[in-house]
Amino acid sequence: MFTQSGTLRGIAERYLWLAKGAKDPEERSKFFDYAMVYAQLSEQAERRESSRPMAGGDVERRNVPERGNVKVA
């Protein structure tokens, strides 16, 4: 199973590879910018993935009444 951060990191590495091989300076700059954006997105996704278990994001909520199902006594 691939994680979102791993996929984004792979895209960033691919753009970096393209930037290194580009002959045209404008194209090289464009690919490098794309690589930086995907690297930042990968870092953000990694932080979200690592913070979920600590914050209880993977725990199912039970015994929590739905907003419209409140009984009035």
Parse the chain into domains and list their residue ranges. Answer: 4-55
> Does position 72 have pLDDT exceeding 60, yes or no?
no
Q: What is the pLDDT of residue 44?
A: 92
**Which of 33, 37, 8 minimizes the C-alpha distance to 19?**
33
Give the pLDDT band of residue 2 (cuts 50, 70, 90): confident
pLDDT digits (tens, 9 = 90+) for 7-56: 999 999 999 999 999 999 999 999 999 999 999 999 998 888 887 665 55
The answer to whether the pTM exceeds 0.75 is no
Helix 4-21, helix 25-55: angle, nearest 10: 170
Distance CA 41, CA 8 (A): 7
Residue-level pLDDT at 68: 61
